[in-house]
Amino acid sequence: MFNVLLFEYSINSLKRRGVKNLFVLIIFSLLIFILSSIFFISASLREELISTVDALPDIIVSKIKAGRQYDIETDRSEEILQIPGVEDTIPRVWGYYYYQKAGVNFSVVGLKEFENNYKKEFDKIAQDIDFTELREKPSMIVGAGVKRVLTANYYKEYFNFVKPNGDFQRVYIKGVFKGENEFETNDIIFLDEEIARKIFGMEEDKATDIVVKVANPAEVQTIAKKIRLLYPDTRVITKNDLKVSYQNIFDYKSGIFLALFVVAIFTFFMIVYDKISGLTSEEKKEIGILKAIGWRIEDILKEKFYEAFIISITAFLIGVTLSLAFVYIFDAPLIRDIFTGYSVLKPPFKIPFVFDFQTVALIFFTTVPVYIAACIIPSWKTATLEADEVIR
């Protein structure tokens, strides 16, 4: 069924009408390049974020009043600890501090000295800090992005937080922190929990939220339900909820692009249809000659299909390869900000390499079949030209 000779003829035929085919090839490759880049980036970031989510707490409990988050009573954590299956509960003090002059948000995380913090990494940081020193002379450890912003605003040794009541809270910069996951820790400020409370104007017996550790992952849903029953005024989010919502965000953003892309691809369809339909008289004559010397309509159709196949697969390979280089070697400038946000504090991180066969299949199905579909009717029209008239 596959005829090598016809295939060679197709390659030759494409070369002979080089300009027209090159034009189509370049546009198609470009379209595939853009689409692949979007998909590769989103697949990688999703992997990265999902692995991040794994490190997140099993359950986060926050108090909701009138649809907004409020400080939660710390003694609730004692009650939650009583629920069977709960390994540990940790009230957290953290939040966002908006530094108006620079127009950026810092994430402020309060660390405890003796009790465990919800993240092992934070525990490590906590160990390295001398808390007594931190309390006497309030100090903080900041992420690289924070340091950059503060220095740019002439805060070299300390920073003055503005408390809710208008007073200042001076906190000295003890050191710069570089975490495993740059993406996460770039805009973080670590300081003692009490100082954090002061900055946010939070009372002693309150916390931002309560983190729950569950021994058996299969029981998370049940325990979450129990907590909801126990405290109807809370929002209880499980790790799985986070995973699902991340996946949905990525799918949503990718979905938007795909929708836009679909528009682009239909335009492309029209262009291809038009280009391939327009035969010069020389091309028509050639078809006439072929038929006159014994090529059947099927043979011409087969040859035209080989041409369509060669162009689309070549464009596909070029587009995907260039995209792989663009995303994973050059870190996809411009496009990746769409996914990660435009915050000034986002660090220059490297996109992790994730090569997923399904992503490639996805790119394939949204591009190649469309091109070949665009070629069906024009190829048929060509193949059914009357040889007799053409060669007189």
Residues 3-42 that bind other proteins (CB under 8 A): 3-6, 9, 12, 16, 39
Angle (CA) 128-122-233 rounded to 5° is 145
Q: From residue 353 to residue 372, what is the string marking binding to other proteins with x (rule CB under 8 A)?
A: -----x--xx--xx--xx-x
The residue among 195 and 220 lying less far from other proteins, judged by its C-beta, is 220
Q: How far is CA 151 from CA 148, 158, 173, 359, in A?
A: 5, 10, 11, 42
From 140-148, 228-236, 291-299, 317-325, span contacting other proteins (CB under 8 A): 291-299
Q: Is 62 one of the binding residues for other proteins (CB under 8 A)?
A: no
Query: What DSSP character marks residue 207?
Result: E
Task: Give the C-alpha separation, 306 to 387, whole Å.
Answer: 21
Closest distance between other proteins and the C-beta of residue 349, in Å?
24
> Which lies closer to other proteins via its Cβ, residue 37 or residue 117?
37
DSSP 79-121: HHHTSTTEEEEEEE-EEEEEETTTTEEEEEEEE-SSSPPSSHH
Residue range at the interface with other proteins (CB under 8 A); choices 151-159, 201-209, 229-237, 377-385: 377-385
Q: Quick one: how far is CA 171 from the chain centroid?
A: 35
Name beta bridge partners: 171: 159
Pick the closer one to other proteins by CB: 52 or 366: 366
DSSP 8-state symbol, 164: T
Nearer to other proteins, 94 or 371 (CB): 371
Q: Which is nearer to other proteins, 91 or 319 (CB)?
A: 319
Cβ 294 to other proteins, closest distance in Å?
Answer: 3
**146, 132 Cβ separation under 8 angstroms:** no
Pick from 234, 189, 198: which is nearest to 96 by CA? 189
| Residue 284 makes contact with other proteins by CB under 8 A | no
Of the pair 61, 375, the CB lying nearest other proteins is at 375
Give the Cα separation of 42 and 362 in Å (integer). 13
Closest by Cα among 203, 202, 207 to 234: 207
Considering only residues 242 through 281, tell me which ones interact with other proteins, judged by CB under 8 A: 244, 247-248, 251-252, 254-255, 258-259, 262, 265
Report the SS3 class of residue 300.
helix
Calpha distance 263→315 (Å, rounded) = 19
Q: Which is nearer to other proteins, 138 or 378 (CB)?
A: 378
CB of 300 to other proteins, least distance (A): 9
Minimal distance, residue 354 CB to other proteins, in Å: 14
Burial code of 113-133, b = ≥16 C-beta within 10 A, e = fewer?
beeebbbebbeebbeebebee
CA distance 267 to 160: 56
Q: Does 391 bind other proteins (CB under 8 A)?
A: yes
* Number of residues lying near other proteins (CB under 8 A): 55
User: Whose Cβ is closer to other proteins: residue 77's or residue 367's?
Assistant: 367
Minimal distance, residue 288 CB to other proteins, in Å: 8
- What is the C-alpha R_g of the chain? 31
Residues that bind other proteins (CB under 8 A): 3-6, 9, 12, 16, 39, 244, 247-248, 251-252, 254-255, 258-259, 262, 265, 285-286, 288-299, 301-302, 358, 361-362, 365-366, 369-370, 372-373, 376-377, 379-380, 383-384, 386-388, 391-392
